[in-house]
Chain A
């Protein structure tokens, strides 16, 4: 009994110390899997999510930079956010709201926010249209942190045209290298990496 308790508490300590909590995501995205073994970095990463219904979500990892990014975007769009709203925004790991509805969304309580289905960030097929808000977010987040790497996290069922819009947006800003986040799958037997 004593031995078992010891082991149990040792494990408990281990799990508490190594715990990294899953961030609350704006939408659940089930990624396809690949044999690629490159790990996604923890820091300096911008994640563009693509939900199964084609909605686009956006997030960066650093809270300070989130605020900075919001300020930049707001200044460009002529919207002002209160310090409270900015704080609220900094806590969101990713979001899918058009900028016009963002202020209203930030003022809702947590329960109300959870109830709302986020409509996704507007994109377009040319990647540089006036209504394309993804380009503003990408541009201003890179202004806040120039070292940001870009990861695309698409859902299995997302249709290709929506992915193409995201791709066009990035390419229009001369971003030609990014990572696609996938699950890990075992390579076929006998396969060796070069």
Chain B
């Protein structure tokens, strides 16, 4: 196959019979085959790309810090619902019957964030992320990632829903939170 035979092949030297010269070349095909087999194995068995990580800081539960109250109209509350859908409202769920908007994750969600951040004005804009029981870990990571992409500085991950929010979600988007 890949053998290169350069020995012999003469015979134009006037009829003299010479002993045929033995080729000194070694057939390397099996060795190369084995080499590539090993390469393939090592490529597949190694982890070349190390996973990355995002940092998550949560507030200290043991310390009670007094923070400045935030104006409710600057707060966008995002509920992570089922079937990879997010629902968001502006202001409080309590008495003002806010409009619940539903978006998918990714581009739609990013646009909603950017639009609202512009409306409220960069520094005052606060996002509260409230995952419901129906949401998955991926949904949460996606939303946190969107915060990094849209460079939203003020956001909080809150795992408790108020009773008002629960009724709101039940009435408007049929989620039993």
Contact = CB atoms under 8 A, between A and B. Distances in A.
A34 B46 contact: no
Interface residues of A, number: 54
B152 to A, nearest CB: 12
B137 A156 contact: yes
A124 to B, nearest CB: 14
A180 B39 contact: no
A18 interface: yes
Interface in B56-82: 56-62, 80
B128 interface: no
Interface in A174-193: 174, 176-184, 187-188, 191
B97 interface: no
B138 interface: yes
Contacts of A110: none
Nearest to B2: A1
Q: Is the interface of B mostly helix, strand, loop or mixed?
A: mixed
Contacts of B57: 176-177
B142 to A, nearest CB: 6
Interface in B13-71: 28, 31-32, 35-36, 38-39, 42-43, 45-47, 49-62
B159 interface: yes
A188 B111 CA distance: 13
Interface residues of B, number: 48
Given A19-B42, A182-B51, A163 B60 contact: no
A180 B53 CA distance: 5
A176 B51 contact: no
Contacts of A20: 46-47
B28 A5 contact: yes
B116 interface: no
A181 B60 CA distance: 22
A40 B50 contact: yes
B136 interface: yes
Nearest to B131: A160
Which of A12, A37, A158, A174 gathers the greatest number of chain B CB atoms within 10 Å?
A12
A123 B22 CA distance: 75
Contacts of B35: 5, 8-9, 12
13 contacts: A8-B32, A8-B39, A15-B39, A37-B52, A38-B54, A40-B53, A154-B137, A157-B138, A158-B138, A160-B132, A180-B141, A182-B141, A182-B145
Given A8-B39, A36-B54, A38-B54, 20 more contacts: A1-B2, A1-B28, A8-B36, A15-B39, A22-B47, A34-B148, A39-B52, A40-B53, A155-B137, A156-B136, A160-B131, A160-B134, A160-B136, A160-B139, A163-B137, A163-B140, A164-B159, A177-B58, A178-B55, A184-B52
Interface of A: 1-2, 4-5, 8-9, 11-12, 15-16, 18-22, 31-32, 34-40, 50, 151-152, 154-161, 163-164, 167, 171-172, 174, 176-184, 187-188, 191, 194
